[in-house]
Structure 1
Amino acid sequence: MAVLKVIEVLANSEKSWEEAAKNAVAQASKSVKNIRSVYINEQSATVEDGKMVNYRVNVKITFEVN
């Protein structure tokens, strides 16, 4: 039986929400092993001069505990 744990991570990108999610997983994988899935919980962006300039995601990352 596998034991899974979920952590919540906030990340951002200047390009897209997809890249922000990839950044979250990449950063988490530096210290968390056995990542199994990512759930995008929330998305937001900052706007300057009528343009979106910073994409933010709040993700839940699930990983297997050994």
Structure 2
Amino acid sequence: MTTVKVIKVMGTSEESWEDAAAEAVATASETIDDITGIEVESKTADVEDAEIVEFKTTVHVAFPVHGE
């Protein structure tokens, strides 16, 4: 049996929500081993002068809990 831990992470991008999600996973993988999946919780953006200037994607990151 495997126990999985899930954390919430927000990624940002100037290009797209997909890039923001990829950034969240890439950054989380710097300190978390064996990420097995994500679930997108929300997509938001910052707007200036009627233009989107930053995309934000909040994701739940799943990874197995390893025993010592």
Q: Give the alignment's TM-score, normalised by structure 1.
A: 0.96
Which residue of 1 is the match for residue 28 of structure 2? 28
The alpha-carbon deviation at position 34 of structure 1 amounts to: 1.0
Kept in 2: contact 1:34–1:65 (CA 8 A): no
Residue ranges of structure 2 left out of the alignment (5+ in a row): none
- The total of aligned residue pairs comes to 66
Deviations 1:32-57 (A, max 9, x none): 00101011101100111111110001
Identical aligned pairs, as a percentage? 39
Aligned to 2:2: 2
| Aligned: 1:13 with 2:10 | no
Equivalent in the alignment of 1:50: 50
Amino acid in structure 2 at the alignment position of 1:30: E
Q: Secondary structure at the match of 2:26?
A: helix
RMSD: 0.6
